[in-house]
Structure 1
Amino acid sequence: MVRVELVEGDITAQRVDAIVNAANSSLLGGGGVDGAIHRKGGPEILAETRALRASRYGRGLPVGQAVATTAGRLPARWVIHTVGPVFSATEDRADLLRSCYASSLRVADELGAATVAFPLISAGIYRWPVEDAVRQALSVLRPFEPVRLTTAYLVLFGTETAAVARSVADSPA
Structure 2
Amino acid sequence: MPTAAPSEAWRDRAGFCAPDRAVLPSGPVPPAQVALLIELAQRTKLGHDLLAVFADRYAAFPHSAPSQTRELTALRQLLERHGLADPSAGLGAGLFADPGVQARYDRYLAEGRTGRAAALDVVRRTAAEVVRMLDDARPGLAAPDVRQVCLHILLAAHRQIRVAQAWSSH
Which bin holds the TM-score, normalised by the shorter protein? 0.3 to 0.5
Identify, as 1 or 2, the structure richer in helix: 2
Identify, as 1 or 2, the structure richer in strand: 1
Q: TM-score, normalised by structure 1?
A: 0.34
Q: TM-score, normalised by structure 2?
A: 0.34
When Rg is computed on C-alpha atoms for both structures, the one with the higher figure is 2
